[in-house]
Amino acid sequence: MTLTTEQRTIIEGAIRDIPDFPKPGVVFKDITTILNNAEAFTTLQQHLKERYISYDLDYVAGIDARGFIFGAALARDLGVGFVPIRKKGKLPYTTVSEKYVLEYGVDEVEIHIDAFTAKKSARVLLIDDLIATGGTAVAAASLISKVGAECVESCFILGLTFLDGITKLEEKSPVYSVIEVK
């Protein structure tokens, strides 16, 4: 299921462009303006619920931090559990971690070792606000597999198709971008 023209207009109309952020020449797509626009946020969440209601999901896993917002709301709407994937050192219990390369170094994300134990062979949707180069998303999808669950799809509000993150992540799971930025 893809967006209708009306849904696309509402959601895209709520995204703010910030020129020259975080550096000159970059146009940052600010999705926080979707969150403070009740019509846009509701339209987005209804679209996501319609798309994923038939996926027979057990959990939604959201990537720190905006993935928590969209993911927790979607998990509630679908009647499934929510699992946070956080930056290293933020989760209180025993974790499994995965490193990924940044343009300026290495970072790491973690998940609780027992995140999906309530359901054997859990079916999980991974969600975040944006996919660019894909490092965090690929690491998060790997974590889902490492703890014994299946990442049935990875969903992003914005997919930057001019970067290679989507292609990298497709090796781990199917990818859906609500809005593609070319």
Q: What is the model's pTM?
A: 0.96
Rounded distance, CA 74 to CA 76, Å? 5
Rounded distance, CA 62 to CA 68, Å? 5
What b/e string do you get for 110-134 counting C-beta neighbours within 10 Å, with b at 16 or more? bbbeebbeeeeebbbbbbbbbbbbb
16 noted as active-site residue? no
First to last CA, the chain: 20
pLDDT, one tens digit per residue, over 52-106 is 999 999 999 999 999 999 999 999 999 999 999 999 999 999 999 999 998 778 9
Rounded distance, CA 4 to CA 115, Å? 35
pLDDT, one tens digit per residue, over 8-20 is 999 999 999 999 9
Q: Residue 173 pLDDT > 80, yes or no?
A: yes
* DSSP conformation class of 65: T
Domains detected in the chain:
54-181 (3.40.50.2020)
Q: Angle CA(136)–CA(138)–CA(144) in degrees, nearest 5?
A: 100
Catalytic residue (choose from 66, 86, 98, 110): 66
Amino acid found at 164: D
Rounded distance, CA 130 to CA 34, Å? 13
39 noted as active-site residue? no
Among all chains, which residue has been given the structure tokens 């550096």?
23
Can you give the C-alpha Rg of the chain in angstroms? 16
Catalytic residue (choose from 8, 86, 103, 108): 103
pLDDT, one tens digit per residue, over 114-166 is 999 877 889 999 999 999 999 999 999 999 999 999 999 999 999 999 999 99
